[in-house]
């Protein structure tokens, strides 16, 4: 059986995601779709709207066949680390192909860009250092350095100012660095841009715009129905009915504020990504802010992007130290969240060949490996209504991999 891998967050799973799954199978001729999905917290440093188990079920209902969790240490990190973890999992599960969405829609410019930057690595790093010293955020400095370098690469190259192109390029880089055997392919994003906050098309909308509509008190959630499969819509309703919450940062603001007000600058400096004195700015803003939104607006600067600050806040909330993240390279295990009947066949045929140990439930043997993910789950569950917090928390220990029958 041939497998195509995709890297996802599904926050929530919508029609654009369903299109990608369908096209990934169509363009590669794969028999199964294996997705690596972020857990309860995501790459932009925010909580997922519903738990990883509900989103895994959405994925299976939407056409995926195997869902593996991307561990917290990768899922909440910057693009290069995020990609390293995801590619190492897909390689370990014997994917022959990687499919990703991009604004570019053509794989060759990604490959040309990778080889071009390899050839001009010293020059690129010098430019990156130059723009960083001028006070630009890392993404902006990288974009400016790349723009300066374009003339030196005499081939069609990818536009690395676009968010999906940036991630796609990091996937290519990770494949090359890990000597992975999978063949990359890309699908042009349809209609909605990654961070679009408004509905611009008849049936395709970004996850950002869907979440905005869901969380808006002025709008009816029914308006989001046409932008996602019925299974996703039902899953959101069911989750809210059961746990009394759809997760977002405001639910965690009192906990974050407590962390900031009860920590010294020296203690905050031990937290991953806290550097350059931002701990003082965080503490001062926490004293007067009445919401997470007002706090973020007070802290954001030209150098620190909204996403980077959110990630720092997440690490403070979960209490993730620099030391605990110092060894991040590649994934060390495969945490299985769910499978379709076809995925189950693939698993039975190939799991003996998998390059990483397979974890289907928490045990004393693997608890240490899963420690950071389990801690993140404990914090994530605190947003739910009591006593549903305990029900949500226990899922990580009691929930076996979901077996989804498409019939």
Question: The dihedral of CA 391, 394, 398, 402: what is its sign?
Answer: positive
Report how far residue 85's alpha carbon sits from residue 70's, in angstroms, rounded to the nearest whole number: 7
Is 16 annotated for ligand binding? yes
Could you tell me which of 136, 160, 165, 135 has the C-alpha nearest to residue 146?
160
Is 15 annotated for ligand binding? yes
How far is CA 398 from each of CA 46, 224, 360, 361, 403, rounded to the nearest angstrom? 25, 32, 10, 8, 15
* Residues 87 and 180 sit within 8 Å (Cβ to Cβ): yes
Is 4 annotated for ligand binding? no
How far is CA 57 from each of CA 64, 171, 228, 231, rounded to the nearest angstrom? 9, 25, 14, 9
Report how far residue 170's alpha carbon sits from residue 178's, in angstroms, rounded to the nearest whole number: 12
Is 14 annotated for ligand binding? yes
Is 18 annotated for ligand binding? yes
Q: Which two tokens stand for residue 242?
A: 């059961």
How far is CA 201 from each of CA 58, 205, 232, rounded to the nearest angstrom? 22, 7, 19
Is 348 annotated for ligand binding? no
Report how far residue 115's alpha carbon sits from residue 200's, in angstroms, rounded to the nearest whole number: 36
Is 17 annotated for ligand binding? yes
Is 36 annotated for ligand binding? no
Is 211 annotated for ligand binding? no
Residue ranges of the annotated binding site for ATP are 7-20, 101, 164, 189
Residue ranges of the annotated binding site are 7-20, 101, 164, 189
């Amino acid at each position: 059986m041939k497998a195509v891998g995709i890297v996802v967050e599904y926050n929530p799973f919508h029609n654009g995601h369903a299109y990608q799954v369908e096209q990934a199978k169509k363009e590669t001729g794969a028999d199964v779709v294996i997705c690596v999905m972020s857990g309860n917290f995501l790459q932009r440093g925010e909580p997922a709207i519903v738990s990883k188990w509900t989103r895994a079920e959405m994925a299976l209902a939407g056409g995926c066949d195997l869902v593996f969790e991307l561990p917290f240490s990768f899922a909440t990190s910057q693009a290069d680390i995020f990609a390293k973890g995801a590619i190492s999992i897909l390689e370990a599960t014997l994917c022959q192909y990687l499919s990703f969405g991009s604004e570019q829609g053509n794989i060759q410019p990604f490959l040309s860009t990778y080889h071009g930057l390899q050839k001009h690595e010293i020059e690129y790093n010098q430019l990156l250092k130059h723009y960083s010293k001028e006070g630009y955020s890392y993404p902006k400095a990288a974009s400016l350095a790349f723009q300066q370098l374009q003339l030196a690469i005499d081939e069609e190259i990818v536009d690395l100012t676009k968010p999906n192109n940036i991630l796609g390029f990091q996937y290519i880089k990770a494949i090359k660095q890990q000597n992975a055997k999978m063949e990359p392919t890309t699908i042009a994003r349809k209609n909605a841009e990654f961070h679009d906050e408004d509905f611009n098309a008849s049936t395709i909308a970004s996850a950002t715009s869907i979440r905005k509509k869901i969380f808006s008190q002025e709008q009816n959630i029914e308006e989001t129905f046409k932008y996602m499969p019925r299974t996703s819509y039902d899953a959101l309703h069911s989750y809210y009915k059961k746990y009394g919450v759809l997760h977002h940062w405001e639910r965690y603001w009192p906990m974050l504020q407590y962390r900031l007000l009860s920590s010294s600058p020296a203690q905050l400096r031990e937290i991953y990504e806290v550097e350059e004195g931002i701990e003082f700015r965080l503490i001062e803003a926490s004293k007067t802010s009445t919401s997470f939104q007002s706090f973020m607006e007070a802290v954001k600067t030209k150098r620190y992007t909204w996403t980077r600050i959110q990630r720092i806040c997440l690490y403070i909330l979960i209490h993730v130290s620099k030391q605990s993240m110092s060894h991040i390279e590649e994934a060390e295990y495969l945490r299985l969240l769910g499978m379709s009947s076809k995925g189950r066949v693939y698993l039975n045929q190939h799991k003996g060949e998998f390059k990483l140990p397979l974890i289907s439930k928490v045990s004393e043997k693997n608890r240490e490996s899963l420690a950071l993910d389990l801690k993140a789950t404990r914090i994530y569950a605190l947003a739910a209504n009591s006593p549903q917090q305990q029900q949500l928390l226990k899922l990580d220990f009691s929930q076996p991999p979901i077996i989804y029958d498409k019939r």
